[in-house]
Amino acid sequence: MRDVFLDANFPRTADKRVYHLGTRAGEVANRIITVGHHSRAQSIAAQLDGGLDNVFRLESDRGFLLFTGKCNGVPLSIISIGMGYPNMDFMVRELRECVDGEMAIVRLGSCGGLLDIPVGSLAIPRASVALTRNYDYDFAAEESESQKEQPYRISKPAFPDEELHTAMHTAVNAAKPASYKGHILHDTVNASADSFYSSQGRITSFPDHNSNLIEWLIKEVEYVATLEMETFHLFHLASIWSRSNSLTHSASSLSLQASLTVPPDHAPASTSLDEASGARLGPTPHPTPTSSKIRAASVQMIFASRVSQEMITPEDTRALEDWSGRAVLDALAKFPISVSAACSLVHRLHRASTHAQGMQNPHPNIGSVWASLK
């Protein structure tokens, strides 16, 4: 560990950077596209206003790569997180602590397709289940029939934000090139597996008892069409956050207040300041109520067909990432984000300092990386 981290419960550096993403307040926008791959993140970031020369870029020691810039004048972040539930968990929880107010997060990821449709098709799932390995099952045993346990488990569904889901479906439909031969599915169900191999029914040299897994999934989950590794956890965290924060103040706004450095003149009386750094020392005794949803949606590019075994070509991958990335960017930039009337510290500072941005764009410029971008 090269930096000094404070607080074992939610580690941050002295200058308030979160442990694994390395970000802090002012570096991350409320609108976020998350991808699995650095090159996908970079090619989407290249489409931001002014291109890659006009973006803030931060790569953490743990391999998370963030770009923050503007799309049509609106601050927007793109983050590459790698793969799987744990990385999605790091991203959602740590970015929540760097952003005040509502967040809109769209995953633009690849997936395997379970329907007999061309690779290169898109799915914007209306629900996702978790498909996980059951560690209580004895995988080393020869016979599965004699065991009480099933080798895999399917969870109840988690859902995207309806408006964001519709916005993404509308956007990709409108943006598809005339020559596009793929399908665009918007009412199918995704399954997020906790492994690329065993929990997605791939056969390896390990005894995974998964030769019937895909058939079982299709039988159990109506409309299931795609398999990947992150969407369920994004939907799950976003929906439980939004439900639990619809009326009460958010933990995030408390910790963001703790992480934001502001000039002492702007400090509310209830907050104490570290005189040396100007940083806030802790939550206010009287936290401001906010309504801070996390809205989530997922746009999935079908790179592999589990029916025909076909894989997408590199040329088609580039073209698909390019136009679908552009569509997601534009739709996310104009997606309305609300800030509650009893708004957060950041928004109060912002309102006091500028009238330039309306309620659809709550990003404060003070101390932000986008303040200096074109």
Does 38 contact ligand R1P by CB under 6 A?
no
Does 364 contact ligand R1P by CB under 6 A?
no
Does 37 contact ligand R1P by CB under 6 A?
yes
Pairing of strands 74-80, 65-71: antiparallel
Nearer to ligand R1P, 36 or 364 (CB): 36
Nearer to ligand R1P, 110 or 257 (CB): 110
Residues 229-268, one symbol each (x = binds ligand R1P by CB under 6 A, - = not), give: xx--------------------------------------
Does 97 contact ligand R1P by CB under 6 A?
no
Q: Which residue is nearest to ligand R1P (CB)?
A: 36
Does 202 contact ligand R1P by CB under 6 A?
no
Single out the segment in contact with ligand R1P by CB under 6 A; choices: 29-37, 121-129, 163-171, 286-294.
Answer: 29-37
Single out the segment in contact with ligand R1P by CB under 6 A; choices: 2-10, 88-96, 226-234, 312-320.
Answer: 226-234
Which of 46, 52, 83, 273: binder of ligand R1P (CB under 6 A)?
83
Which of 10, 137, 159, 196: binder of ligand R1P (CB under 6 A)?
196
> How many positions of this chain bind ligand R1P (CB under 6 A)?
10
Q: By CB under 6 A, what part of segment 102-131 binds ligand R1P?
A: 109-110
Does 208 contact ligand R1P by CB under 6 A?
no
Q: Which residues bind ligand R1P (CB under 6 A)?
A: 35-37, 83, 109-110, 196, 228-230
